[in-house]
Amino acid sequence: MTSIFARAMGSDFDRLHPMMQRRFGVGLDEGQACVGRGVMSEIRRGPWWTVPFLQFGKLRNILVPAVGENVPFTIWNSPYLDPFGRETVTFVREYEVGGRSARFDATMILHDGRVIDYLGTHQHLAVDLDLKVDDDGGLLLRSGEQRFYEGPVGFRFPMLFSGRATLRERFDDTDGRFHVDMRVDNDRFGFLFGYRGSFTCEWMPASGAPPHVFPRRHESRV
């Protein structure tokens, strides 16, 4: 048994930079979790007409409508078993923008050899992730099909009302920091939201996720 990312990526996982392997190797089998702390050099959004998308996403911590520079942030990567017995890894990002707190909630599982990313406080959106390794040993992540779940309701979420995320994360030996660059685009309306920044990680034993990063509801459907 290895981390959910190693299992999803197979031999490609070994092509990641060693520090990237360590970061995305967090899991119950390895017995490790990590917390990243750093600064977003820029958080940006699209034109004014993208704000409704962002405000809607903010309701359940799916998107961040705020903008800013040199924004402190923390990312919590903690593995735990969810109520359905699935190994889950949190990717909860907390920001302080203009004196106000903002948050982006994500929890990831492995299903049928692929990573599924549940977004939001109530895991309303289940998103397929495509994971690749770039020439520098960084991780390139692209989001794909999305499903919406609420109570008995479940349907493929129309991309007209959502966005596709592209994220690149790498480790820089020069400064000893992880660097991340992410953007979300809507198929019709273009750029919605993005950020870039860097951080360092502190590793610790995987003793269960801190209560404040747990979803308020766990979704069994993928």
Lowest mean pLDDT among 5-19, 41-55, 66-80, 148-162: 41-55
Is 106 in contact with 126 (CB distance < 8 Å)?
no
Question: What is the pLDDT, as a whole number, of residue 98?
Answer: 77
**How far apart are alpha carbons 55 and 78 in whole angstroms?**
27
| Residue type present at position 144 | G
**How far apart are alpha carbons 157 and 179 in whole angstroms?**
30
**How far apart are alpha carbons 29 and 202 in whole angstroms?**
18
The predicted-structure confidence for 142-186, as pLDDT tens digits, reads as follows 999 999 998 899 999 888 777 899 999 999 999 999 999 999 998
Question: What is the pLDDT, as a whole number, of residue 1?
Answer: 59
Question: What is the pLDDT, as a whole number, of residue 50?
Answer: 66
* Matching residue, tokens 């993005």: 194
Q: Name 178's bridge partners.
A: 171, 199
Question: What is the pLDDT, as a whole number, of residue 99?
Answer: 79
| Residue type present at position 209 | A
Question: What is the pLDDT, as a whole number, of residue 55?
Answer: 63
The predicted-structure confidence for 61-103, as pLDDT tens digits, reads as follows 776 667 889 999 999 999 999 999 999 999 999 998 877 788 8
**How far apart are alpha carbons 36 and 75 in whole angstroms?**
5
Helix (H) or strand (E) holding 201: strand 190-205
Question: What is the pLDDT, as a whole number, of residue 130?
Answer: 98
Give the start-end residues of each E strand in 13-163. 32-45, 68-77, 79-81, 87-90, 92-97, 100-104, 106-111, 114-119, 125-133, 139-150, 153-156
Q: Which of 166, 162, 119 is nearest to 142 (CA)?
A: 166
Q: What is the pTM of this model?
A: 0.92
Report whether pLDDT(47) > 70.
Answer: yes
Question: What is the pLDDT, as a whole number, of residue 53?
Answer: 64
Average pLDDT over residues 94-120: 91
**How far apart are alpha carbons 64 and 43 in whole angstroms?**
9
Question: What is the pLDDT, as a whole number, of residue 66?
Answer: 75
The predicted-structure confidence for 122-146, as pLDDT tens digits, reads as follows 999 999 999 999 999 999 999 999 9
